[in-house]
Amino acid sequence: MTENRGHNERDALIAGLGAVLLWSTVATGFKLGLRQLEPLQLLLLGNAVSAVFFAAAATARGAWRFDLQAARTGLLFGLINPLLYYLVLFEAYDRLPAQIAQPLNYTWAITLALLAVPLLRQPLSGRMLVGIGVSYCGVLILLTQGSLQGLERIDWLGVALALGSTLLWAGYWLMNARSSEGALSLMAWSFCLALPLVGLACHLGPGWPAPSWPALGFGLWVGLLEMGITFLLWQRALRLTDHAARIGQLIFLSPFLSLLLISSLVGETIHLTSIAGLAVIVAGLLLTRRSAPARLPPKNTPTTRTHDR
């Protein structure tokens, strides 16, 4: 029994690290993809890939729930994720350096803690308030880049979009936490039903993306690494482990690894203030996480009653 438990913990760690490594690449994928595609076009390609992936995974596992209620729930969730959430997020990445957009989006857990007060009637402890304050000090460091003059060069619409994405994701998570739908079935319905809506928006907006191997590559990058494979890897890690909180700490490696890729592949010069701001944001998130009444899942990993975080 002890040997099996140790084997499971090892497999959980491998799956968790695999998910974190894949998540670390997505900010780079966003930025490179948006050099060739409009935000809606990148969303369409990523949505199409993820819809096929989740439909195939749900079919293989027999996870589909075919009834009107499941379809309605999937449509509602799909309007938020992927449609609104990723459109807002991609627009933010299109306007901001990746080293700023990614840490701003990472503050979604702080937004979740704030939303939980009126929506779930969860009080804010003193430690949580300190954690929130620390994280937003990190945001200030990030935006000023060490000098108040840095604020003059910021694209404030991009900042608003990045912070707005945290509101959408936190709201989506709260809806997921109350849903009785199976996680894989919900993801399959959401991405499949959102696809024609994203396609229509793309047709009415920037137009269909021109077919090319690079465009397909970025669609696979976004659809599989951001939205698809990582979901199953993280699900496996948390299913195998007896120490979900310990596995959950792995997600804080992702933004720092991401900065290395942003520097080497995107070509951004990573400022020391970006590293410092991110470190302060993560410190605040750790304080908030440890004092939260319920465990917070990593971004892009829905929580349902059948997929508990």
Q: Is residue 253 part of a domain?
A: yes
Taking the CA of residue 116 as centre, how many other CA atoms within 13 Å lie in the half-sphere pointing to its CB? Answer: 22
Q: What is the pLDDT of residues 1-32, one digit of tens each?
A: 555 656 688 888 898 899 899 999 999 999 99
Q: Is residue 21 part of a domain?
A: yes
**Is residue 50 scored above 60 in pLDDT?**
yes
Residue-level pLDDT at 304:
39
Task: Please provide the average confidence, as pLDDT, over all residues in the chain.
Answer: 86
Residues 103, 138 contacting (CB under 8 angstroms): yes
Q: Is residue 299 part of a domain?
A: no
Q: What is the pLDDT of residues 171-221, one digit of tens each?
A: 898 888 778 888 899 999 999 999 999 999 999 999 999 989 999 999 999
**Is residue 301 scored above 60 in pLDDT?**
no
Q: Domain range holding 130?
A: 2-291
Q: Is residue 195 part of a domain?
A: yes
**Is residue 83 scored above 60 in pLDDT?**
yes
Q: Is residue 309 part of a domain?
A: no
Q: Is residue 43 part of a domain?
A: yes
CA–CA separation, 294 vs 157, rounded Å?
32
**Is residue 290 scored above 80 in pLDDT?**
no
Q: Which residue has the higher pLDDT, 158 or 180?
A: 158
Q: What is the pLDDT of residues 105-146, one digit of tens each?
A: 988 888 888 888 887 777 888 888 898 899 999 998 888 876
Q: Is residue 180 part of a domain?
A: yes
Q: Is residue 298 part of a domain?
A: no
- The per-residue DSSP string of 227-288 comes to TTHHHHHHHHHHHH-S-HHHHHGGGGGHHHHHHHHIIIII-----HHHHHHHHHHHHHHHHH
- Determine the 3-state secondary structure of 188 from DSSP: helix
Q: What is the pLDDT of residues 213-266, one digit of tens each?
A: 999 999 999 999 988 898 888 888 878 887 676 777 788 888 999 999 999 999
Tell me the average pLDDT across 97-112: 90
Buried-exposed string 26-53: b where 16+ CB fall within 10 A, e elsewhere: bbbbbbbbbeebbbbbbbbbbbbbbbbb
Number of structural domains found in the chain: 1
Residues 6+ apart with CB under 8 A from 37: 45, 209, 215, 218
